[in-house]
Chains A and B, each alone.
Chain A
Amino acid sequence: MLFGRDKKNPIKIVDKKAAKWTYATCGYCSVGCSIEVATNIEGKVVGSRGVGGADVNRGKLCVKGIFEHELFDSAGRGDKPLIRAAINEGFRETTWDQAASHMATKINDIQQRYGRDAFAVVSTGQLLTEEFYTLGKLTRGLIGTNNYDGNTTLCMASAVSGYKRSFGSDGPPGCYEDFEHTGCLIAWGSNLPEQHPIIYWRLQEAREKRDFPLIVVDPRVTMLAQKADIHLAITPGTDLVLLNALAHVIINEGLHDKAYIDANTVGIEALTSEVQHYDPTTAAKLCGIDEDTIRNVARIYAKAPTAMSIWTMGINQSTHGSDGVVAINNLNLITANIGKPGGTSLSITGQCNAMGTREWSSCSGLPGYRQLENPEDREEIGHYWKVDPEFFPKKRGLAQTDIFPAIESGEIKGLWLVATNPMTSMPNTERMRKTLAKLDFLVVQDSYADVETNQYAHLYLPAATWAEKEGVFTNTERRVNIVRKVTDAPGESKADFEIFNLLAKQFEGSKAMSFPEQPQAAFEEMKTLSKGRLADISGMSHDLIEKQRGIQWPYTDEQASRGELPPAGGKRLYTTPASFRFADGKAKLIALPFINNNEVPDEQFPFWLNTGRLVEHFHTRTKTGKLGNTNKYSPIPFMEINPDAAQDLGIEQGEYVRCISRRGDAVVMAMLTQRVPRNMVFIPFHYFDCVNRLTLGLLDPHSRQPAYKQAAITIEILEDQQAAAQLSMEMRRF
């Protein structure tokens, strides 16, 4: 039966009247999706869509990207520089010139009194690469502190460190296209559907075309674990044991590729002898994966025509994160799975431009993967920047996670935070409060004036966000992609690029140096410095990048002048024999003894605390917490707890509970689910004054990355649920 009305009103469907679509690269995670942002005839931002012809996302976007255009007029944005003498006073508005001169004076005072390194700079993975490059030039060339690092220490430092230790350089060797070729994929502590939904979709597309085993290592039954052919529900913090055991089976059963190992690696003997301590029977007792499964997985991986590993924070955020990365590299090297289509060791990066900061920010080094420890590198950069090479430190200074303890101990007196929110993101929030309160001078440069860390700032600099400015990002698969300016930043906010230039002018030395006014010109400098290096971008230009929907490095000026266009995708590193970045071209196989230094559950604190990401939120929620259409899926913090454990404790679904660790406590709402084992809870990390009040964050000896995912807690029920609800609400303003 059909029903119709004789007189129908015209069908009304929302027409946003998009007059112009501006190209950008998503500013959330490192997948690097191409977005077009719509503006109407008045120039008002009205919508967004994925770019159909972009190889990365092929028209798709995740929930965050779909609403990214709403960021431009979200709540809490800063619009004027704010200043105060002490943190117990209120802020007052100031001008940019006064803010810049005040900041330079304070930096100078602190450095005069306490030494050059007493002023520290902690940057981010959120800025555009040209901005990172400029900040590096300013910090290394003018401010001259050696305590300069990025918050990427919290997410990617272990991958960086592991790549450097194995291959002689940072730089993920694989690409997304590898899914379409691989014969086996192991995902180590990586939950693509929640963390990198577009990469998950690429994987799903590949799996629908051609079936191959998907093995997921995760203590929690994540959505990816549920999709896996084999799910290894590992004991937290024991990945290295499992990796060593896999290597044991492969080597001892002769499944390794001896020819490849001889031609491309050194260290097989030491590795072979070390992994003898990790026979599957012994390893099973430590890592919680039975010995048959260990053997099975090792054989599948080694026998697959090609095999690849991806990993994210499950590996990186661990006391042996760097070792975990090296062990994954070991696994791929002994099975000859590096630099091949479908055979790779691919770290799935975190922030939109974590890669850009690694390549060009001079954090912990000099631009273009150059090292402070290398005299030629210092010489070359000093010459190019017109800075006395002797002004550069001879080795890297403190990592981000060591900068804060140095504030605690009084070595560092001043700090400049750029687009990072340690009050929410660092482990042990209460310690962080005390640390930040100790500073003589804290500058917070952020798009949001309500960023929690601003509570401790003496100077707040309002920055433009994402497509309010122009420049490039580099994604997980080394693709340089461009963000075009869509709209103006609110009020007097400035692009970080302009802020760095403004500050540089305050320093006498800047007169001899070049601080170009346009990002494009900074990009030209980077191109020059990249020539002949691993991350060679000399063939690229902003316009070509947009035309190609992003270009993977390396793409050289020789290729460009030959008229050779960059491929749409599928570019890999280390594809030729012995092309690794050590002097002999050989990768290092490294023996990795496992020392269990985790805070494991005991009688007093009987639960593992696991942390992680939700698809609808980004980092510390300063962006996504303001947008109803992302925030509504998880507006308040919650805890996944096993229903059986909840029953033992008398906790009901939806009740507030108090979690307590040796550091502090947190109030969360209980979500009962068999997704977690009986002795583990999972709490998302996005919320202020929540899970990081509990985390320990032991530091990895190589990468200095904190182990967020392994701590022990106990849980108390809260009698007064109303008071708990009130408390939970008060702890966050958005």
Chain B
Amino acid sequence: MFEVRSDEPKYAFLWDKETKANNIYGDSIDLASQQSDLYGESLHINGDAALGENPNRYKQHGFYLNADNCIGCHACEAACSEKNDNPAHISFRSVGYVEGGTYPDYQRLNISMACNHCDDPVCLKGCPTRAYTKYAEYGAVLQDPDICFGCGYCTWVCPYNAPQLDPVKGEVSKCNMCVDRLEVGLKPACVSACLGNALDFGVIENVPENRQECKTDIPGFPTADITHPNIRFQQSRQDKREMTRTDSMPLKYHKDDQNGKYQAVVDAKKGSKKHWNWKALLMTHESSHVIFTLATQAIVGAFILLVLGNFMAVPAFVAIKSSLAFVPLLIMMNLVLSYGLFKLNMHLGKPHRFYRGFYNLRHSPVSREIAGVSLFYGALLAYTFFSLLDLTLAATIVAVVGLISGPVGVFYMYKLYRIKARPFWDHWQTGTSFVANSLILGSLILAVAGLMSGVGTATLSVLLVCMLVGLLLEAVGHIGHANDLKSRQGEGAASWYEQTTKFGWPYIISNGLLGSALVLAAGLMLNPSSILGWLLLAVVITAQAAIRRSLFFALVIPTTMPGAFFWKNKGFEEHAKESGLAKMPQVGVEYERHRTFKFDELIATIKATTLKEAFEQTKSIFVWKSLNK
């Protein structure tokens, strides 16, 4: 148990006497009744079997920030990092600020933010490895770095930037609510350290002494609708009409006079000039996602066209299958998909923990995507194998498996990008784009095979039609997306701003390439066997897809908290990496590391796991605790 000192100051102790039944969202604050099998369990903190005696142990707790009082002194961040022994580049709690007014009527509003231990923890639902648990004790959402394989998906879905992906360790860690302190009746370390009397902590909806408000919004804080965060605010002393961010994010917050709330709107910080920024677009950590998603969509598309076309006896696809290019085609498809999967796996912080990707089939679209794509990959391999051996029945069976698992994989690939905290992705266009690319790139792959084996113009025409459908779908999606983004506010509109400025030229070029592809494909219909025409089309389509997909990752702006001028400022982080400032560890900016697949660690895990444990683990993927109150 955590040591309570004999001279522990009064402010360090929890103060809740009475608690409410339900929170502001209508959820119950009581998380486990005495009859519940979650009741009376030790948290086993560091293996200690003792049971905390906090009378409110099974009530949802949360932070309280009186933003009027925060002075931005970093004591909370420091106390947290000291307690959790975090290196400079990791912080479970961060203070950023927004500012408004004109000198001397100037206001800086500091916002200290950690994990909000949400009622609906999207991190937990999203995590494919099930590293997250929401405990009945205090409602704490805890994450276990020993389970995490460092995919960083939780950092994508969290609207508050709470989970911290450590590029050095290749794993996520986050605020643990100081449950060790809560067990003995003490407030978390950050709260006890606060020097502005701004931070507090208690059972949710309880208003600390001398405080009046209990709001879920302040300028800079994303909407509470996404996750039902357990944080409450007071912020009433000043309110400027417009609050700006000091970090590089092209956003500011505008007050709506009707309801007094602040709306995120675009702040055109870098003017309206178009830039190239090729390096920032193409040479990123996300390029493995570009390769993986495109490769998967291409191969799933090609497979469906090929196999379904043959099932339905469409002459064009029958021709490809019966051509000499069939086997080389299958081998090529295997190679492309293998490369995509390899890139995906090696971008993980801990690639040797890849097998954990299936653990959260119950909730995580990532798990389902990985399951779908992996099954499809297996089916493709088997299909290739059986086709080589001419085992038609077996090939047909696995083809059916592939026909189901491929689309399922792509569907959950789409679902996993529908993240509410990432408005640029959270649009139907993500879906049309994925389907379109399956059609476009799938047809292209089949056409390459067709051209190699000299199939007739009829086949090529059919492929061109498929491609045209795909290109039109892509175009419709982009037009719809652009129109929606332009009329939106907030992070989506900010993405649109970056699309037309920071990456203005790549965006225009990708549009031009899409248009050219449409014209070329239509033109090719007149002479479908023109090798030169196909070559040109292949180059245009591939370039279009690569730029477009890179933009997809480069442009997304999450609904995170405002940063400060250096700390948690993406612009400064990029500058520190480019200039070499980040080489000094005390600057607190770290580079992405090359990942190694630690075979020895994998072998050790396999050796240490008994068959029974492996069975239990597999069973738990399908059967696990989910308690509705």
B103/A642 in contact, CB under 8 A: yes
Q: A52-B8, A59-B9 known; 19 other A-B pairs, CB under 8 Å?
A: A2-B629, A4-B134, A9-B147, A10-B44, A13-B178, A16-B85, A60-B193, A63-B74, A63-B77, A198-B195, A200-B71, A200-B195, A223-B72, A629-B81, A630-B78, A631-B586, A635-B586, A675-B103, A725-B575
In the complex the two chains form, is A66's CB within 8 Å of B193's CB?
yes
Residue of A nearest to B613 (CB): A7
Query: Which of B79, B269, B576, B625 makes the CB contact (< 8 A) with A653?
Result: B269
A653 touching B103 by the CB < 8 A rule?
no
Within 8 Å of chain B (Cβ to Cβ): is A633?
Answer: yes
| B387 partner residues in chain A, CB cutoff 8 A | none
B273 to chain A, nearest CB (A): 12
Contact A193:B103 (CB < 8 A) given known A1-B626, A615-B74, A628-B89? no
A722–B5 alpha-carbon span in the complex (Å)? 52
By a CB distance below 8 angstroms, the chain A residues around B180 are 13
**Given the complex, which residues of A lie within 8 Å of B565, measured CB to CB?**
634, 638, 671
Interchain CA distance A671-B210 in the complex, whole Å: 35
A214 to B84, CA, bound (A): 37
Cβ contact within 8 Å between B627 and A633: no
A194-B77 Cα distance, complex, nearest whole Å? 15
- Most chain A Cβ neighbours within 10 Å, of B75, B120, B132, B195: B195
Which residues of A are found within 8 Å of B395, using beta-carbon distances? none
For A610-630 the 0/1 string (1 means CB < 8 A from B) is 000001100000000111111
Minimum Cβ distance to chain A for residue B139 (Å): 8
Tell me if A3 and B581 are in contact (CB < 8 A).
Answer: no
CB neighbors of A among B519-564 (8 A):
564
With both beta carbons as reference points, the residue of chain B lying nearest to A628 in the complex is identified as: B88
Q: Does A602 contact B (CB under 8 A)?
A: no
CA distance A1 to B227 in the complex (A): 12
- B164 within 8 Å of A by Cβ? no
Note all chain A residues with C-beta closer than 8 A to B178: 13
Check if A632 sits within 8 Å of B587, measured CB to CB.
yes
A99 to B178, CA, bound (A): 51
Query: Main SS of the interface on chain B?
Result: loop
Q: Is the CB of A197 within 8 A of B564?
A: no
User: What is the CA–CA distance of A193 and B46 in the complex, to the nearest angstrom?
Assistant: 37
Answer whether residue B419 sits at the interface, using C-beta atoms and an 8 A cutoff.
no
Q: Which residue in A63, A653, A722 is a CB contact (below 8 Å) of B579?
A: A722
Known: A4-B626, A633-B564. A197 touches B73 (CB 8 A): yes
Closest to B245 in A: A653
CB of A654 within 8 A of CB of B571, answer yes
Please, which residues of chain A bring their CB within 8 A of the CB of B7? 51-53, 59
B residues 450-490 in Cβ contact with A at 8 Å: none
Contacts of A678 in B (CB 8 A): 103
A227 to B43, CA, bound (A): 42
Q: Residues of A within 8 Å of B, CB-based: how many?
A: 77
Cβ-defined contact, B179 with A632, below 8 A? no
**A223-B88 in contact (CB<8A):** no
CB atoms of B75 and A11 under 8 A apart: no
Most chain-A Cβ atoms within 10 A of its Cβ — which of B43, B74, B121, B248? B74
Task: Kindly identify, within residues 1 to 59 of chain B, every residue whose CB is under 8 Å from any CB belonging to chain A.
Answer: 5, 7-9, 11-12, 31-32, 38, 43-47
Q: Mind listing 6 A-B residue pairs with CB under 8 Å?
A: A2-B32, A52-B7, A52-B8, A63-B78, A197-B73, A615-B72
Instruction: Report yes or no: A628 in contact with B586, Cβ–Cβ below 8 A.
Output: yes
Judge whether B581 and A729 touch: CB under 8 Å. Answer: yes
How far in angstroms is the closest Cβ of chain A from B209?
Answer: 9
A59:B581 contact, CB within 8 angstroms: no
Q: Are A5 and B130 in contact (CB under 8 A)?
A: yes
Residue of B nearest to A12 (CB): B46
* Smallest beta-carbon distance B344→chain A, Å: 25
Docked CA distance A676–B102 (Å):
9
B572 CB to closest chain A CB, in angstroms?
7
* Interface stretch (choices B104-112, B152-160, B257-265, B420-428): B104-112
Given A48-B82, A654-B572: A1 touches B74 (CB 8 Å cut-off): no
User: Is A604 an interface residue, CB under 8 A from the partner?
Assistant: no
Chain A residues near B193: list those with CB within 8 A: 60-61, 66
Give the contacting residue for B195; candidates A62, A629, A635; CB below 8 A: A62
**B44 near A616: Cβ-Cβ < 8 Å:** no
* A383 CB, nearest partner CB in chain B, Å: 44
Q: A226 near B: Cβ within 8 Å?
A: yes
The answer to whether B626 touches A14 (Cβ under 8 A) is: no
- Residues of the B chain whose Cβ atoms lie less than 8 Å from the Cβ of A205: 197
Q: How distant is A334 from chain B, measured CB to nearest CB, in Å?
A: 29
User: Does chain A have a CB within 8 A of B101?
Assistant: yes
Shortest distance from the beta carbon of A612 to any chain B beta carbon, whole Å: 15
With A628-B87, A635-B588, A673-B246 already in contact, the answer to whether A66 and B46 are too (CB < 8 A) is no
Residues of the A chain whose Cβ atoms lie less than 8 Å from the Cβ of B627:
1-4
Complex interface: chain B residues within 8 A of A15 (CB): 46
- Given A616-B74, A734-B586: A13 and B566 within 8 A (CB)? no
In the complex, are the beta carbons of B195 and A197 less than 8 A apart? yes
Q: Would you call B196 an interface residue if the criterion is a C-beta within 8 Å of the partner chain's C-beta atoms?
A: yes
Question: Contacts A5-B624, A60-B195, A729-B580; is A629 near B88 (CB within 8 Å)?
Answer: yes
Inter-chain contacts of A673 with B (CB < 8 A): 99, 106, 108, 246
Give bound CA distance, A197 to B107, whole Å: 19
Indicate if B136 sits at the interface (CB-CB under 8 A).
yes
Which among A11, A672, A725 has the greatest number of chain B C-beta atoms within 10 A?
A11
Determine if A1 and B195 form an interchain contact, defined as CB atoms under 8 angstroms apart.
no
Chain B residues closer than 8 Å to A14, beta-carbon distance: 83-85
Q: How far is the CA of A628 from the CA of B89 in the complex (A)?
A: 8
**Is the pair A628, B103 in contact by a Cβ cutoff of 8 Å?**
no
**Bound form: Cα–Cα A47–B624 in Å:** 40
10 A-B pairs closest in CB distance = A628-B88, A632-B588, A53-B7, A52-B7, A10-B44, A193-B71, A233-B104, A628-B586, A66-B78, A59-B9
**A294 at interface, CB cutoff 8 A:** no
Contacts of B125 in A (CB 8 A): 3
- Contact yes or no, A67 B586, CB < 8 A: no
CA of A632 to CA of B108, assembled, Å: 20
Contact A632 B567 (CB under 8 A): yes
B512 at the A interface (CB under 8 A): no
Is B144 at the interface (CB under 8 A from chain A)? Answer: yes
Q: Which residues of B contact A295 (CB under 8 A)?
A: none
- Assess the B135–A1 pair: CB atoms within 8 A: no
Q: Which of A9, A51, A677 contacts B103 (CB 8 A)?
A: A677
Query: In the complex, A11 Cα to B42 Cα: how many Å?
Result: 10
> Can you name the residue of chain B whose Cβ is closest to the Cβ of A1?
B628
Q: Does A231 contact B (CB under 8 A)?
A: yes
Taking a contact as CB atoms under 8 Å apart, the answer to whether B120 and A1 are in contact is: yes
Whether A676 touches B73, Cβ cut-off 8 Å, given contacts A11-B45, A627-B586, A635-B587, is no
The answer to whether A12 and B146 have CB atoms under 8 Å apart is yes
One digit per residue, 1 when the CB lies within 8 angstroms of any chain B CB and 0 when it does not, for chain A 647-673 equals: 000001110000000000000000111
| B333-390 interface (Cβ within 8 A of A) | 363
User: How long is the Cα–Cα vector from A627 to B585 in the complex, in angstroms?
Assistant: 9
